[in-house]
Amino acid sequence: MAFVLTVFVVVILVLFSWSADSLSRDEFPSDFVFGASTSAYQVEGAANEDGRKPSIWDTYSHAGNANMYKGDGDVACDGYHKYKEDVQLMANMGLDAYRFSISWSRLIPDGKGAINPKGLEYYNNLINELTSHGIQPHVTLHHWDLPQTLEDEYEGWISRNVVYDFTAYADVCFREFGDRVKYWTTLNEVNVFAMVGYGIGAAPPQRCSPFSLGNCSRGNSSTEPYLAAHHMLLAHASVARLYNKKYKGIQHGFIGLNLLTISFVPVTNTSGDIIATQGAQDFWMGWILNPLTFGDYPDIMKKNIGSRLPSFTKEESNLIRNSIDFLGINFYSTFSVNNHSKSLNMKDIDLIPDMDAEITMLPENDTSINTVLDSLKNDYGKFPIYIHENGHQTPHSSSLNDFSRIKSLHKYIGSIAKAIRSGSNIKGYFVWSFLDVFEIIGGYEESLGLYYTDFKDPNLKRQPKLSAKWYSNFLKNKPIDPKIIMKVESDASLL
């Protein structure tokens, strides 16, 4: 009895502390968008159906996911067949928007040439289903899933040929879907895709030097990350120019690009650590944002990397600069930065040693996203920002009573409200992810979804977690559901 009373008291204290730090949707502008995210390979499944051909992510997963975990996206959440059920869940939750990606190799199986009619039909159906329920479609054109045919033909993103093919693919998407889609993100996490996929080899297309973690059979970690990112920037700029010239006047949409942001904080207040922290920010975010804002890479990158860093022509610089209508950011982590005085004269060099700083991941905290938002505002201006991904990781086997995820959502959404009051031009927030999906960080072993996906069930049953109910109540401006309180009270392990 004493234990039960103690649990009850703790629950009341927790709930009281929340009410003292109340959070309401009314704190956000009326046009602020709340949504949830997924990506094609992680949710669709149907990998071998209706004309779809493999992407580099298929190849990476079927080769063993760099020996980090098991599984692939052949079935995933079967979103390809269950999209109507999923959109109904979104509508019931009260989502304003849904961020998803188009599988290039489903729409144009060989990466160029003929359009797959079944792929075209699927995305039209999905978009129509969303808009019929009043949910804005926010579409990403490339979420780490380049068609394998282009990788085989000319090694994908390390070839300038990809700029032309990506632009032609985007042209198809704008023409076919742009009457209903107003928010387009060209590429997801340009910086981390380039670094992890081409430097470390722990993501598709698993290219790296032999010394790297990915046990790669091909690649060069000292040059290819920079080359891939360079071509992604050129491809983005080409697509933005196409949209602005051919479609914007008719469709009135917006073009953005996405990167993974990290909050970097110095270990100490010494000048060395402070300078190293700025360098880490330049290498991680400035790598992409400096060209988009100023037309060139940060000076520290040009100094440390030298001739291994590609350069822009004057025409390319002008094309890239100011080519985004909005910036999409993904945020999960804070890293401490320590000055690292080692020499850059190493036999094998990639982005991390090029940065010349020692970085360490810190535990999750609720103020770190404000550090990123302040840095973006101060260094690059007040362009519109959509937080495309932010989520809380738990084991997939954990309880549906995901109190830790609710706590994380509460903290981060509250931090965004604070940032808006401080002048950040944030336009939307998307939870990663809508469902438990096939995660690049752990396959089916890790969970970030608002809805639990039962991967052992042939029907892949979706079940709402407490976080889904909390988010729904927040979106509908309702108080905490008494059922949630009762469930929290009944599960002492959550405390």
Nearest CA among 42, 433, 441 for reference residue 203? 441
- Give the residue from 190, 256, 187, 237 showing the smallest Cα distance to 425: 256
Could you read off the pLDDT of 360-381 as tens digits, one per residue? 888 766 557 888 998 899 899 8
Mean pLDDT of 438-450: 95
Q: How far is CA 250 from CA 112, 132, 247, 253, 277, in A?
A: 25, 21, 5, 9, 44
Give the per-residue pLDDT at 486. Answer: 56
* Farthest CA pair distance, the chain: 75
- Who has greater pLDDT, 213 or 269? 269
| Confidence band of 412 (pLDDT split at 50, 70, 90) | very high
- 22-58 pLDDT tens trace: 789 999 999 999 999 999 999 999 999 999 999 999 9
Catalytic positions? 189, 389
pTM across the whole model: 0.91
Give me the pLDDT at residue 390, please. 94
Show the domains of the chain with their CATH numbers.
32-494 (3.20.20.80)
DSSP state of 110: T
Write out the two tokens for 372. Answer: 């990123």
Q: How far apart (Å, rounded) are the C-alpha atoms in residues 275 and 21? A: 35
Q: Report the percentage of the chain scoring pLDDT > 90.
A: 75
Residue 20 above 80 pLDDT? no
pLDDT at 494: 41
Give one DSSP letter per residue of 84-136, joined into a string: HHHHHHHHHHT-SEEEEE--HHHHSTTSSSS--HHHHHHHHHHHHHHHHTT-E
Q: What is the pLDDT of residue 357?
A: 80
Report the distance separating Cα 195 and Cα 172, nearest Å.
29
Give the SS3 label for residue 280: helix
| Average pLDDT over all residues of the chain | 89
| pLDDT, position 367 | 58
Residue range 133-180, pLDDT digits in tens:
999 999 999 999 999 999 999 999 999 999 999 999 999 999 999 999
Whether residue 487 is predicted with pLDDT greater than 70 in this model: the reply is no
The yes-or-no verdict on residue 485 having pLDDT over 90 is: no
Listed range (278-282, 358-362, 399-403) with the worst mean pLDDT: 358-362
